Amino acid sequence: MNIINSKTIKYIAIALAATMHYSCIKEVENLNLPNTQPKLVVQSFISPGDSIIATVYASKPINYNITGTHYSTFDTIKTATVTLTNLTNGSSTTIPFDTDKKKYILHPLDFTIEKGIEYELNVTANKFNPITTRTTVPTGLASVTISKIDTTRGSQFESSVIRINGFFNDPANEVNFYQFSSYIINEYFSGEGYEIMYSTYNSTYVTDNNHNGGNVVFKHETHYWENETVNGFNNTNTLILYMYEVDEHYYRFHKSLETISDIMDNPFTESAHLYSNIEGGLGVFASFVRVEQTSTKE
């Protein structure tokens, strides 16, 4: 719950409106409004043993007062050249475009991603400035301990809450970032049989800032609906936990995304920018290493 709930905001907004009943709204005219060019939007998260996937889009400028198409639809740039380079041994590969999935995808056997190695991603596309960005894959030396899983059951009208406490055993003498994620597995009948769908996904991000070499504690919380059956969904009550060691770009990107989704249109907060390590473009190139994956039933 927020102290500023909808009712409080409503009354304060009405009071402000009363104060400002002298006000008026009009279009801004005769100003040097920005006329922005599209930028490349590149997003790729690499990890040892996983397929290498990159998406390439073009941002849509908000050209004020000019009629345009809907912003919510973005077409993938299919003709970009996406090159990945291992900066230690100099090996390089071009990632091909998959027309079915509309992404640039490379099988893990075609190019190895190794722990502790720095990789560079280059993307060029017609009519755009080329971008170059780098990430260093985490060493993956951390381990994780889950000390407690608590479930607080909700009623017919409230969700149940699962609280997980634990810590990452943090290697010394390096800066580390971690992600702890959980899923509740649902299954549904698609007409051809039962299929699994992951739902109720939550992530917690922590860093070893000021705890170098010690235990980096996390407290994670997720929730689910008991006995949920909606449109053929059944809750199988299986909890899957993923624990990753991530690089700084991964951490900062997801933390800033978390902040943006928390604040949305709340006027009481500072505006937030989404982190990007794409110089001259937008998006993120980052890496992670799976520390542990486990599942548990009720």
Partner 1 sequence: MPGVNVFIPGTTTGTASNTYGFYSLRLPAGEYEVVFSFVGYQPRFFSIKLDKDIPLEVELDPTIEIEAVEVRAEMPKQSSRSSQMSVMELPIQQMKAVPSLLGEKDALKVIQLMPGVQKGSEGTSGLYVRGGGPDQNLIILDDATVYNAYHLFGFFSLFNGDALKSLELTKGGFPARYGGRLSSVLEIVMKDGNKEKISGEAGIGVISSRLVLEGPIVKDKASFIISGRRTYYDILARPFMPDDIKLGLFFYDLTAKANWEINRKNKLFLSGYFGKDKFSGQERETNSAIEAGMFWDNATSTIRWNHIFKSNLFSNLSLILSNYRLKITTKEKYDGNTFELSYRSGIRDVGAKYDFTWMPLPSHTIRFGLNSIWHSFNPSAVILKDTYTNDFIREVNTINTYESGIYLEDEVKIFDRGIINAGLRLSHHFHAGTSNLSLEPRISGSLFLTKTLSAKASYAHMNQHIHLLSNTGIGLPTDLWVPATKFAPSQDSRQVAAGFVKDLRDISTTLSLEGYYKESKNVIAYREGASFLMFDDPTGATEIKWEDNVTSGTSLSYGAELLAHKKSGRFSGWVGYTLSWTQHQFDEINNGKPFWARYDRRHDISVVGIFEISEGITISGTWVYGTGNAITLPLAIYPIRENAPSANNLWDGNIQDYGEKNGFRMAPYHRLDLSVQLHKKLKSYERTWEFGVYNAYNRQNPFVYFVDENASYNQETGEYTYTSKLKQVSLFQFIPSVSWSIKF
Measure the CA–CA gap between 117 and 188, rounded to whole angstroms.
Answer: 41
What would the x/- binding string for partner 1 be over residues 158 to 187, using CB under 8 A? -----------------------x-x----
Give the shortest CB-62-to-partner 1 separation in angstroms. Answer: 5
What would the x/- binding string for partner 1 be over residues 69 to 108, using CB under 8 A? xxxx-x----------------------------------
Stretch that binds partner 1, among 9-17, 78-86, 116-124, 150-158 (CB under 8 A): 9-17
Residue choice 97, 177, 180, 242 for contact with partner 1 (CB under 8 A): 242
For the chain, how many residues are written? Answer: 298
Q: Determine, following the binding rule CB under 8 A, whether residue 109 of this chain makes contact with partner 1.
A: no
Q: Which residue has the tokens 């907060």?
A: 269
Contact 166, 242 (CB under 8 A): no
- Terminal Cα distance for the chain, rounded: 27
For residue 178, the surrounding DSSP H or E stretch is strand 177-189
Query: Is the Cβ of residue 90 or residue 265 nearer to partner 1 in the bound state?
Result: 265
Contact 181, 200 (CB under 8 A): no
Contact 144, 166 (CB under 8 A): yes
Give the shortest CB-258-to-partner 1 separation in angstroms. Answer: 8
**DSSP label of 31:** S
For residue 44, the surrounding DSSP H or E stretch is strand 40-46
Stretch that binds partner 1, among 19-27, 109-117, 143-151, 223-231 (CB under 8 A): 19-27
Q: Determine, following the binding rule CB under 8 A, whether residue 155 of this chain makes contact with partner 1.
A: no
Residue choice 33, 172, 175, 217 for contact with partner 1 (CB under 8 A): 33
Q: Determine, following the binding rule CB under 8 A, whether residue 5 of this chain makes contact with partner 1.
A: yes
Give the shortest CB-66-to-partner 1 separation in angstroms. Answer: 7
Q: The tokens of 5 are what? A: 């709930």
Q: Determine, following the binding rule CB under 8 A, whether residue 262 of this chain makes contact with partner 1.
A: yes
Which residue type, as a one-letter code, is found at position 133?
A: T
